[in-house]
Amino acid sequence: MIIHISPFIQLAVKNLWRKKSGATWYYRRRIPKDVAELLNLPSGHTKTVCLFITDDVTATKAAIKLAVQDEADWERLRSGKAALVHEQAINFLGQFGITVGTKPSEFEHDAFVQHIEKLLGGEGQERVYRGEDPVELLDNPVAAAALRLARGEFTVSHALEFYLELRGKGKPKDFFKQSRIAVAQLVESAGDREFLSFRRADANTFVKRSLDRGGKTNTVKRRISVLSALFNVVIREKELDLANPFDKVLIPGEGSDTAKRMPFGEDQQEIFRRAVAEAPAKDDLSQMLAMLLDTGARLAEIVGLRVDDVVLDAEIPYVKLVNHDHRRLKNGSSVRDIPLVGAALTAATKAAERANRSRSDFLFNRYTSKDGCDAHTASATLNKRIRSLGIDLTCHSLRHTIRDRLREVECPREIIDRIGGWSSSGVGERYGLGYRLDVLSRWLSKAVTKDSEEKFEPIVAIGS
């Protein structure tokens, strides 16, 4: 947009738009793809803010200020520090000799106040005198957070720090990432306010704004679940008199926008099986896909395997799915042993040999280390590989496929649930030790090979 500063000076300004000459200016800026993904926005999403300004020069200044703030916010989000200025605010106060939770001396107090006044400038101080909150006027988020701390406030950002410190031990990186994204979106929706000020209306507004900007209902539900857990822990541990505003929040049309995941058809399975069989021994992606194909395991369960989780020298080779510090399982039913048959056995053998040659403790060290398991990146890469085969499905569809394959050979539902790690609704399933590995292997082999028409007699679980 060309802004005419004077008859002799023109200025090209990005991110400004208005319908016609003399109309109100809008700040418009496309959100970068990587940031859009973190905020659960569709690719190409444009941020639009009405400036309520018609003057060209004033609008230019406002647009530049918003652009600088966006860059700072996006950088914090990229680095996993969105809404996390608590520690920096403590250090900020420390520069003036102020310790959080203790009353500062008159000298320390005056030095801090003078610095805040300097940051506000003359115009800001005048607005504070007229009754505006200086926290809302400060451009520096660390200074704003420090002022809140000095006033004894406990905001949702501080609550997040408290929550992560209390519950984050042993959690994977994704736990921290998802918690930070949820709080960053809440701050964007409602502001980084005093924790006790949040009400049900804030939760409903959060849902509405998330849906209005294109978020899927299941994604919004996950964000709400994170926020609900955070509020539950903080309310309980700090003994606050506050009803959890994010508890059992209704999401309009929940699940209605979810596309049904389709399983791989027989022809697609054959293309897929041939592709992974012909892949070289060093191709870890094909090995992951082959193990997903013939185990029905979740992606993170396979990607996060340690080498010693793969037992190849037993009479029936299998993988042990257990919780690790770098990768937690979804629930109690997820802890299980899965027999290795078909392409999964071949792939696991190659993967173990490759990992041993590189002296790695992890089966797929491209995506897994002692610091965490990056299943999200692995998923994107694997889905791209699947699409390159002309198959418009995702790696998660392999999990649906194994369930259908087991049904086709008349496998009992309890065994299907045990192989896949699905929770069973039957009360009786809580008793006994479960099914023997050889029983699981027989059914899984039949589903994978389909070379026997034998009908197995019903199998009784051990210890029932």
Task: Tell me the average confidence (pLDDT) per consecutive run of 10 residues in the chain, 464 residues long.
Answer: 48 73 83 70 74 82 82 67 61 81 80 90 89 85 82 83 87 83 88 87 93 87 96 92 93 81 82 83 91 93 95 95 89 91 93 93 93 87 90 88 91 92 63 75 87 41 41
The type of residue at 167 is: R
Q: Report d(CA 124, CA 121) in Å as an integer.
A: 5
Q: Are 51 and 62 in contact (CB under 8 A)?
A: yes
Q: Which of 385, 379, 391, 445 is nearest to 415 (CA)?
A: 445
- Amino acid present at 134: P
**What's the start-to-end Cα distance of the chain, in Å?**
75
Phi, psi (5° rounding) for residue 300?
-60, -30
> What are the structure tokens assigned to 366, written together?
């491209």
Model confidence pLDDT, tens digit, residues 338-357: 999 999 999 999 999 999 99
| Whole-number pLDDT of residue 461 | 44
pLDDT tens by residue, 148-186: 888 877 888 889 989 998 998 877 777 888 898 899 889
Question: Distance between CA atoms of 196 and 177, rounded to whole angstroms?
Answer: 24
The alpha carbon of residue 407 and the mean position of all alpha carbons in its chain are separated, in whole angstroms, by: 33
Which residue is it, tokens 């955070």? 230
Structural domains in the chain plus CATH codes: 2-78 (no CATH), 154-258 (1.10.150.130), 266-449 (1.10.443.10)
Which structure tokens are listed for 40?
Answer: 């659960």
d(CA 407, CA 103): 68
